[in-house]
Structure 1
Amino acid sequence: MKKSASCFLAALVAVGMMSTAASADVKKGQKAYLKTCKNCHGSGTKGAAMHTQDEWDDLFANGAAKIIKAHANDKSAAYFNGDLFKSQAQDLRDFLFEYGSDSGNVPSCG
């Protein structure tokens, strides 16, 4: 019984590690933010604090439809409608969520 429980726990830990590795990357999101969002929204600390974590989830839901709509009439519209944003959206969401105004976290740089 102990051996099967140990195997189960080891498998659970392994699956947990794989799912974490497969998720988006907060650091990549921070880099994307600094390249594409900082000019209009300020530092990463200021930009991420514009919304709570739940609000960031809502803004990035449904393929980030609300973020895209919010930027439809500004100079960044091409970015938000392009493939680069589609490839970076999950990383950006994870960065902004990680440092949302109610998270208690502060990015180290930017």
Structure 2
Amino acid sequence: MKKSTSLFLAAVVAVGMMSSTVSADDKKGQKTYLKTCKNCHGNGTKGAAMHTQDEWDDLFAKGGAVIIKKHAGTKAEPYFNGDAFKDQAQDLRDFLFMYGSDSGNVPSCG
């Protein structure tokens, strides 16, 4: 009994650590969204709901090639073609995916 309890507690701790890591990425992505996307696409709730989770995956696939192309010729083009987007793309994708239109999730602020 002692061994199974210890194993259960270890699993709970491991899942808890993974959850906070995932949460950190989408929170970081939310900050990026508010800084770089909000002016054109509205608050995070509105922006993330523009696409489903699968659509967000497609937009950010292959280094974000599709989302970069969609922003060609806009005032956001320099951001999407720069190093900042390359550094922030995964966090931004995590935020948008987490709150996509079919996720059932709503961001807390922004």
How would you bin the TM-score normalised by the shorter chain?
A: 0.7 to 0.9
Query: Secondary structure of 1:47's match?
Result: helix
Normalised by the size of structure 1, how large is the TM-score? 0.82
1:76, distance to aligned residue in structure 2 (A): 0.8
Q: Larger deviation: 96-105 or 15-24?
A: 15-24
- Residue deviations 1:1-59 (CA, integer Å, cap 9, x gap): x9x98998888778767766766700000000000000000000000000000000000
Query: Secondary structure of 2:73's match?
Result: coil
* 2:52 is equivalent to residue 42 of structure 1: no
Percent identity, aligned pairs only?
69
Matches within 5 A, 1:1-110: 25-110=25-110
Query: Secondary structure of 1:25's match?
Result: helix
Aligned residues between the structures: 109
Normalised by the size of structure 2, how large is the TM-score? 0.82
CA distance in 1, matches of 2:66, 2:13: 35
CA distance in 2, matches of 1:61, 1:102: 19
CA distance in 2, matches of 1:57, 1:44: 17
Q: Which runs of 5+ in 1 are unaligned?
A: none
In the TM superposition, structure 1's runs of 4+ consecutive aligned residues that sit over 2 Å from their partners are 4-24
Q: Which runs of 5+ in 2 are unaligned?
A: none
CA distance in 2, matches of 1:7, 1:46: 44
